[in-house]
Amino acid sequence: MRKLTYFFSVARFCAMLGLATLPLSVAAATPPTIGIIVPLAHKAMTEIVAGFSETLKQVYGKPVIIKVENAQNDPNLERSIILQMHANRYALVAPIGVDATEMTLASIHDQPVVSIASDLTDKARHALSTCNVAIVHDDLGPVTQMQFIHAVYPKLTHITLVHSAANKVFPDVAATIAAGKAVGITVDQRMAATLPELMTVADAMPENTQAIFVLKDSLIVSGVATLEKVAIQRRIPLITSDNGSVEAGAGFALGVHERDIGVEAAKLAAAILNGQAACTLPIVEMHHLTVFINQKVMQATGQSIAPVIAAATRAGYKIDKLAKPVGVSH
């Protein structure tokens, strides 16, 4: 009888603490789950994810579960990933890029979103039925890109822009053509919707092209080695827009450190996890531009790095001669 009385006393005590019906494994709060949506895996995406993951754990300071999903450039797979993250009630969803952001915001209205490397404006997010998104911009714009290319190669008159069929790319293609015209450069565009198509485009590169240019375009960036081979054969520069593609085989790029984009996104995510509303957080702009140079590829394509360094110095950009580039030999 004494044992029974003791049991009920303990049970009442546990009930007061809210532990009577909870197993020990869930007595502590379950860490929040963050879902990162990568449209297509490549070096730049890896850097963004690494910057985000490392910084969030440091800044948030509490346990967190980070799940990274690769959509493999497949819109149907991407939609499925987003819906799954919504159904599983992730604490926060972080799509990378314009298209992934648009698809996420079309499907998720009751969970916070951190849009990484998109062009979503403050006006656009407040026009949403539910403003649930914080934003990191990273696009420096075609005008700045073409002005820099002109500064490096003032005699260049024909350039081929290779791009994918992603929705977000077409406005940038039009803007690049206009920006090129303003500095006396004719921009010839070539589209590849798949990596096999990129090989076809590379084989049919216009004879009069003096350089190849790539925007921040996941599909094309993932196949930069294909364009590198053409650049080496033609002895023309291969110019891109992010450090990851330069590490993978481009000659040089004006852009920002991809890891830093992930770092800034993680800071927004930590603020949201700590109770701030996503829509109240200021949009983060990436202002610190760097010129990334792959000296091995520049040499293989018959290009001197001197004019690149000179143009970067005049513009006040940082210069990063990548210590461990791939390219050429792979």
Q: Domain check: are 208 and 270 in the same one?
A: no
Asked whether 164 and 223 are in contact (CB, 8 A), the reply is: no
Asked whether 97 and 39 are in contact (CB, 8 A), the reply is: yes
Residue 329 lies in a domain: no
Tell me: the pLDDT tens digits for 46-61?
A: 999 999 999 999 999 9
Q: Domain check: are 208 and 315 in the same one?
A: yes
Q: Domain check: are 43 and 82 in the same one?
A: yes
Q: For residue 14, what pLDDT is reported?
A: 40
Q: Report the predicted TM-score, pTM, of the whole model to 2 decimal places.
A: 0.82
How buried is residue 323: exposed, middle or buried, by Cβ count under 10 Å (0-12/13-18/19+)? Answer: exposed
Asked whether 328 and 228 are in contact (CB, 8 A), the reply is: yes
Q: Domain check: are 38 and 91 in the same one?
A: yes
Query: Structural domain tally of the chain?
Result: 2
Which DSSP state fits 117?
S
Closest CA to 176 of 133, 219, 211, 131: 211
Residue 22 lies in a domain: no
Q: Domain check: are 124 and 271 in the same one?
A: yes
Residues of the chain with pLDDT under 70: 1-28, 323-330
Q: Domain check: are 224 and 80 in the same one?
A: no
For position 52, which CATH number holds?
3.40.50.2300
Q: Domain check: are 201 and 59 in the same one?
A: no
Q: What token pair was written down for 35?
A: 């879902």
Q: Domain check: are 114 and 199 in the same one?
A: no
Q: Domain check: are 129 and 98 in the same one?
A: yes
Residue 23 lies in a domain: no
Residue 327 lies in a domain: no
Q: Domain check: are 173 and 295 in the same one?
A: yes
Q: Could you give the CA distance from residue 218 to residue 40 in angstroms, rounded to a whole number?
A: 6
Q: What token pair was written down for 63?
A: 């346990």
Q: For residue 287, what pLDDT is reported?
A: 83
Q: Could you give the CA distance from residue 186 to residue 112 in angstroms, rounded to a whole number?
A: 43
Q: For residue 327, what pLDDT is reported?
A: 60
Q: Could you give the CA distance from residue 222 to residue 149 in angstroms, rounded to a whole number?
A: 22
Residue 269 lies in a domain: yes
Q: Could you give the CA distance from residue 169 to residue 164 in angstroms, rounded to a whole number?
A: 7
Q: Domain check: are 299 and 187 in the same one?
A: yes
Q: Could you give the CA distance from residue 243 to residue 45 in angstroms, rounded to a whole number?
A: 11
Residue 247 lies in a domain: yes
142 residue type, one letter: P
Residue 27 lies in a domain: no
Residue 209 lies in a domain: yes
List the beta bridge partners of residue 96: 116
For 111-141, letters b (16+ CB in 10 Å) and e give bbbbbbbbbbeeeebeeeeebbbbbbbbbbe
Q: What is the dihedral of CA 150, 151, 152, 157, to 10 degrees?
A: 20
Q: Domain check: are 183 and 76 in the same one?
A: no
Tell me: the pLDDT tens digits for 23-53?
A: 444 445 799 999 999 999 988 899 999 999 9
The domain in which residue 38 lies consists of 33-138+258-280
Q: For residue 141, what pLDDT is reported?
A: 86
